[in-house]
Amino acid sequence: MTAIPQGRTRRATLVGAMCALAVTGTVTLTGCSEDPDAGTNGVGKLPADKIQSRTRTAAESATAVHLSGTVVTSGRTYKLDMRLKSDGGSGEVTAEGTTFRLLRTGEQLFLKADAEFWHPEHAKGDDSDDTAAADKLDGKYVKVPQGDPSYKKFSGFTDKDVLLDGLLTLHGTLETDGHHEESGTRTIRLAGDKGSGGTLDVSLEGKPYPLRLVRAGSAGTLLFTEWDKDFKIEEPKQDETVDYGKALPTS
């Protein structure tokens, strides 16, 4: 057996260590052969349009997801913290400084908020019947009638398919934008128009789920976690619920 010169061993060790640093982004070197897609699900080697197709398919077929972050639409900023699955969802939405809770199981949608949400004048000492009604709804789950305009507006926040279909969109020419990492998971990044049309980090580990979306035009950033992690959705208890009838009070 031929002995390897000690100097050559040291050089090989040093090169290996330096290449490892290059992969983590600490230094940049040429001549390192580390494959960033080694041990991954392989989507990082695909064209951008095929990666987008794969991640959409993975998201659509998932049984559940936890979505959190901000969405800016029509001049309003919504902070979302929602857990979603095919037959419903639950979580909190914050808009204009007010936080309310949504829960949907099947077609039944419930909304829980404080009195000020239902009647802002409550804070001004208004003693009207509207204020009394708002007090009745304070901290209760209110069953939202399906014919009320609020049903369509709020149920979208609890609909996994509708919400993901509307959010997982990048604008402009689609390209890959390198390998990255999101919360310890290796990703391949998709970019629309070199980032101005939004970016989407797709998992390179396991199924190619979307993990982080930066929307075009500074329209918010969202994180997608707990893919396929099931959770229980139940209608609130009767003593926690108010059925307001065919229409909700104007908030």
Length of the chain: 251
Q: How confident is the model at residue 9 (pLDDT cuts 50, 70, 90)?
A: very low
Give the full edge-to-edge strand order of the sheet including 64-73: 174-182, 185-192, 199-203, 210-214, 221-225, 64-73, 76-85, 88-95, 98-105, 108-112, 141-144, 241-243
Per-residue pLDDT for 190 more than 60? yes
Please, is 124 exposed, middle or buried when counting C-beta atoms within 10 Å of its C-beta (0-12, 13-18, 19+)? exposed
Structure tokens at 139: 């901290």
Mean pLDDT of 174-193: 97
Check residue 126 and give its pLDDT: 54
Structure tokens at 61: 């077929």
By DSSP bridging, strand 141-144 and strand 185-192 are unpaired
Q: Greater confidence, 110 or 137? A: 110
Mean pLDDT of 185-211: 97
Check residue 130 and give its pLDDT: 62
Check residue 120 and give its pLDDT: 56
The total of other beta-carbon atoms located within 10 Å of residue 198's CB is: 24
Domain boundaries, the chain: 43-61+170-225, 66-164+232-243
